[in-house]
A = this chain, B = another copy of it.
Amino acid sequence: MEEPLDLEPLFPDRAAGENLAVQLARRLREAIDAGALPAGARLLGTRQLAKRLGLGRNTVALAFEQLAAEGYLQPHRGSGTLVGVSGRKPARLGKSVRQAPPARAQLVASLRSTFEVARGLGPLRPGMPDLAKFPTTPWSRSARKTLNAYDGDLGYGPSSGLRALRDAIATHLRQFRGVTARADQIIVVEGAQAAMHLVAFVLTRPGEPVVVEDPCYALARAAFEAHELRLCPVPVDGDGLLVDALPREARLAFVTPTHQFPLGGTLPIARRTALLQWAGRKAATYIVEDDYDSEFTSRARPLPPLQCLDRDERVIYIGSFSKTLAPVVRLGYIVAPPHLIGAFSTARAIAGLGCGVHVQATLADFIEQGHYARHIRRMNAIYDRRRAILVNALRPALRLGFRLGPAQTGLHLALLGERGFNDVALSSALNGQSLVALSRLCIRRRDCRGFVLGFTNGSDAEIEAAATQLVERARVC
């Protein structure tokens, strides 16, 4: 050809904000790929094409040069510029096989549904703190203060987290939980989920067995499933994990001894000791202790975390600021046994040093100034009230055969239905809300029906209304 059959698609769109040479090159490339400009066709000269399109000649020359480098155009001295071979065609014409993602990717993608059923929506969504009560003023003050202090340090931060934050966490854990950990045992991560992923990445290989509570926290289960671990569910009762049912071997045991999720039990000291002995008898067996809401449970006759009782470096303790402050903070931590510090710290560097230095400095200051302890005290009072409101609103359900799990502390409680109760049907029946059905959190057992009900993701009135609505619907069903 002497010119494109249709110059129309090449006219510049100046509103797109795109560099005009890049735009022209892209459009010519598309035309060649689409076959509108066949190989061997001769293009207009740069001067003529520039004039027709209302572009500068240099712009057109630059686009031609780019396409020549790519092989789309072939400049020929004397005979102008010819259309070359489409850069896309060779890949297309080869014997390409339809893309089927590898098994691991299919598995990971299939876990999406876990997030939908495990989260819930509305005022009774468990585990979501009252974001309206976020301590904006002192937090912003810490943020501004540390912005100045960390102004000069724009490089990669330390792989285990900012020293100031690790010190603050160590002090907090000692005061609130009796956990005695040196700052260098603390690895700052983006939250409890990131902690579980890191633990699985560092300590496991596909196919290895992992003990999980039955029922258990669904997103922990999803993390282990994504790593292709073999789930070994161990049932829980009102006091937590039934340690007599532990399997002979496992690489990890994921437990919530302070406040079993979802049922609410507190693991007695004898079971704690038995669990530690179980792990201690084997080499390279670890207990992952998720102390996920201990700041809201440890007031009522607390038991020491497994981490405090562990003499054999078997316990990996994890915690998060998502529930005490807000998920947006995106910070949590691992307390590693000393012999694993090197592995976790290196793993953080390999996996990308996630946490921003500035938010770490902000949180360190916020804790040091006492705002964190103050905020937790304040929220404990609010959540105590909301728990009472929820328990009161659920009272009529108890006459329908429902029972309440241990409800003195924490950020959620379990409402247990009778055997055979269809919790899944009821969980999605509430308009604009969805409840977390207990049966969805079970792995092997079939005798656990009901709901995990939070009382922190709404005002007093909203929580009362949602609970009343739930009772009404349960009455109808």
Query: Which A residues have a C-beta under 8 Å from some C-beta of B?
Result: 17-19, 22, 25-26, 29, 65-66, 69-71, 87-88, 90-92, 94-106, 108-109, 111-112, 115, 128, 131, 134, 136, 151, 153-157, 171, 174-176, 178, 180, 189-191, 193-195, 197, 201-206, 219, 222-223, 226, 228, 251, 269-270, 272-273, 276-277, 280-284, 301-304, 308-314, 322, 326-330, 337, 339-340, 342-343, 345-347, 349-359
Partner of A327, one of B99, B156, B175: B156
Complex CA–CA separation, A1 to B183 (angstroms): 37
In whole angstroms, how far apart are the Cα atoms of A101 and B283 in the complex? 8
Chain B residues near A96: list those with CB within 8 A. Answer: 277, 280-281, 311-312
Contact (Cβ within 8 A) B87 A202: no
| Closest-CB distance, A238 to chain B (whole angstroms) | 17
CB neighbours (8 Å) of A29 from chain B are 178, 304
Q: CA of A277 to CA of B283 in the docked complex: distance in angstroms?
A: 47
Q: By the criterion CB–CB under 8 Å, are A91 and B283 in contact?
A: no
The residues of B that contact A282 with a CB separation of less than 8 Å are 97
B131–A204 CB distance below 8 A: no
A339 to B314, CA, bound (A): 40
A273 proximity list for chain B (CB < 8 A): 87, 90-91
Q: Tell whether, in the assembled complex, residue A311 and residue B156 are in contact, meaning their CB atoms are under 8 Å apart.
A: no
Please give, as numbers and ranges, the residues of chain B lying within 8 Å of A94 by CB-CB distance: 276-277, 280-281
Q: Which residue in chain B gives the minimum CB-CB distance to A87?
A: B309
A175 with B226, Cβ < 8 A, contacts A109-B343, A303-B69, A354-B330 known: no
Task: Kindly state the separation between the CA atoms of A102 and B200 in the bound complex, as whole angstroms.
Answer: 11
Q: Which residues of B contact A19 (CB under 8 A)?
A: 175
How many angstroms from the CA of A100 to the CA of B65 in the assembled complex?
Answer: 61
- When the two chains form their complex, are residues B17 and A190 in contact, meaning their CB atoms are under 8 A apart? no
Q: Is the CB of A88 within 8 A of B309?
A: yes
Bound Cα distance from A350 to B190, whole angstroms: 12
Inter-subunit contact B352/A104 (CB<8 Å): no
Of A90, A314, A329, the most chain B CB neighbours within 10 A belong to: A90
User: Would you call A22 and B175 a contact (CB within 8 A)?
Assistant: yes
Q: Which of chain B's residues has its CB closest to A313's CB? A: B99
Within 8 Å by CB of A328, from B66, B153, B204, B310, lies B153
Which of A99, A104, A206, A283 has the most chain B CB within a 10 Å cutoff? A99
Given A280-B91, A328-B154, A358-B328, A108:B350 Cβ within 8 A: yes
The residues of B that contact A353 with a CB separation of less than 8 Å are 190-191, 193-194, 330
Interface centre among A272, A309, A340, A354 (most CB of B within 10 A): A354
Q: Which residue of B lies closest to A326 (CB)?
A: B154
Whether A228 and B201, one on each chain, are in contact in the complex, defined by CB atoms closer than 8 angstroms, is: no
A45 → chain B, closest Cβ, in Å? 21
A346: nearest chain-B partner, CB-CB: B112
Contacts of A91 in B (CB 8 A): 273, 276-277, 280, 309-312
Residues of B contacting A343 with CB < 8 Å?
101, 105-106, 108-109
Q: Which of B66, B102, B342, B350 contacts A193 (CB 8 A)?
A: B350
A148 to B181 Cα, complex, angstroms: 38
- Using known A-B contacts A22-B175, A346-B115, determine if residue A340 contacts B101 with beta carbons closer than 8 Å: yes
Query: Among A18, A155, A219, A251, which residue has the most Cβ atoms of chain B within 10 A?
Result: A155
Q: Are B100's CB and A283's CB within 8 A?
A: yes
Residues of the B chain whose Cβ atoms lie less than 8 Å from the Cβ of A203 = 101-102, 104-105
Q: How far is the CA of A71 from the CA of B308 in the complex (A)?
A: 14
**Which of A171, A178, A314 has the most chain B CB within a 10 Å cutoff?**
A178
Q: Which residues of B contact A284 (CB under 8 A)?
A: 99-102
